[in-house]
Every structure is written in structure tokens, then in C-alpha cells.
Amino acid sequence: MRPNGASDPIGPGGFTVGAFQSGAGEPSPRWWLHGALLLLTLATSTVMGGLFYGWVPVELAALGWRRWIVHPVFLAEGLKFSVPLLAILLAHEMGHYVAARRHRLRASLPYFLPMPVPAWFSPGTLGAVMRIRQPITSRAQLLDIGAWGPIAGFVVTIPVLLAGLAMSEVRDFGGDAPLVYFAEPLLFQLTARWLYFPGLTGTEDIMLHPVAWAAWWGLLVTALNLLPFFQLDGGHIAYALFGARQRRWAKRLLALFVVMIAFWPGWALWAAILVLVGPEHPPIPGEREPLDRGRLIVGWVAIAIFVLCFTIAPIQLW
């Protein structure tokens, strides 16, 4: 699977999406800040969507960037990517938010994070975050807040993926290998290769519609945030399910990043961050409290989603 016109190198990258615990109080919502960040993120992701993931006519390049960047065709193609992508991120954050409020915990609205410097084939955003402004004191709270974000985002990603693949095309490249190749998570393979485009020949590949690209990034952000470390969503879930065992296993699992770096350089960045902050989840007072059966099922559903979304080398250079 390759982007439209892929020919330039890309560096490792990733998303920041999740719910982070903070000891701050509960100030009044700064609606202007949330709205401004959302609009700015919409702008940056629309531009990147038009540049790398939209089906933009090559004739626009002759107009010069000051004209084609505001051209209706370019913006329309970019919005086909940015709107479903931000919908996935919003659903993810609202899953956290609703879970926190159900436990009567103070929480901020989502802060969307625009990409400050455009990077080759980036989605134009660093994701979104929200803050929990009260201590999490039980495994039930931790499991709900950690799991319902990626579950909600995944639920929105599925129809986006199905609609995007329905609008995608197959193209024969004559055996030419792409310089940049985007790997296919298990869910993507099940839908694209088995449901929509079975029987592709060795010289054919899928040219994804911008909506399908948004779903691809949605799968990636879900997988990255379900990694079982620190205060990532996966760290919350692993600690809620397994208690202190998460803290014992975290450093051992971190060693796997050393192996995975051979498949994707981006894991080096993640490993460095986790070494700095520590891979173990911070302890909570109710560590030994049991989880009810329903929450155990939710936790294992989140783990299954991780398996469906994960790929060891998301972006490959040839």
C-alpha cells in the first residue's frame, strides 16, 4: 500500500492521544483555546491530506503553491482526509472524557495538537490529549478511562475504513517497488485484501482514497496508544488488569523495542521516551481491588483491538 505519488523519505513519528492524570484544579473551560487548536489542527491536517493523501490533479502544481494551496479541489481532497481523521481522534478523547465524568472525576475537554512543522507524509497533527484533574483511586476507574478511549476511536474507525476502501482503487504498477510503503495492520488486511480487493496480482497495489488514509492513521494511533507502558492507554489497561505485574513486566517488554528498531526506526524514539519517563505505570491506592467480569471483558476487548491495529513496521523505506 502506497501513498499517491510517494517518493520522498519519511522520518519516524507518532501520535499523542490519551488521558493523562494531573493534579491541577478545575478551571473554567477555555473554549477559545480548545476551538482554536481544533481549527488549527483541521488546517494543518487538511493541507497534509491534500499534499500526500488526496487525489489532487497534477495540473494544480503548475499554478504555484500560493494558488493551489487555496484551490477548492485541493482543499476538498484535504478535507476528505482531515475530517474523518479528526472525527476518530475526537471519538477517542470523548471516550476518555465520558468515562472520567461517569466516575465523577474532573476532566478537561480535548486539546488537539497541530503538527508545528510539516513532515513528509505526516497526518498534519500530533493527535489530541485531555487531562484528568483528580487522582484515579481504583482499578475500575483506571480500566474505564484507559479502555473506552481507544474503543470509541476504533468504533468510529471501522465505518471510516469501510467507506474509504469502497472508494479506493487498484492500480497496476508493473512491478515497480515504492520508495515509501505503508504496512497493513491485521484489520486492514482482513477488509482490504479479503473483502474488497481479493486476488491482487504481484504487480497491483491499492491506491487508497483519502478517507481510507484517515482510517489507516486511526488504526496506527490506536495501536501506539495501546502499548502497555506508562500512562499510555495501554499502560492504564495493563495496570488495571494485572496490577503490580505490569510494573514488573514493563522493563522486560521495553527490551522488545530494541529488536523492533530493526524493523522500524520509529521504535527508537518511543524507546527513548519510555526510558526517560519510565515504562512502569504509576501506582494507585486501589491496586489490589478486583475488577468485575464486565470490566475484565472490556479490558480484553481493548487488547484484541491492539492486535487488530498493530504492525511492527508501519512505514517502510525501500
Please, which residues have CB within 8 angstroms of residue 259's CB and are 6 or more apart in sequence? none
Looking at residue 9, its pLDDT comes to 29
- Helix (H) / strand (E) element for 210: namely helix 210-225
Looking at residue 13, its pLDDT comes to 36
Looking at residue 201, its pLDDT comes to 81
Task: Compute the distance between CA of residue 276 and CA of residue 181 in angstroms, rounded to an integer.
Answer: 30
Q: What stretches of 193-293 adopt beta strand conformation (E)? A: 204-207
Question: Is the Cβ–Cβ distance between 289 and 134 less than 8 Å?
Answer: no
Question: Which of the residues in the chain have pLDDT under 70?
Answer: 1-28, 175-179, 318
The pTM of the whole model exceeds 0.75: yes
Mind listing the pLDDT tens digit for each residue in 270-315?
Answer: 888 888 888 999 888 888 889 999 999 999 999 999 999 999 999 8
Mind listing the pLDDT tens digit for each residue in 161-199?
Answer: 999 999 999 988 776 666 678 999 999 999 998 999 998
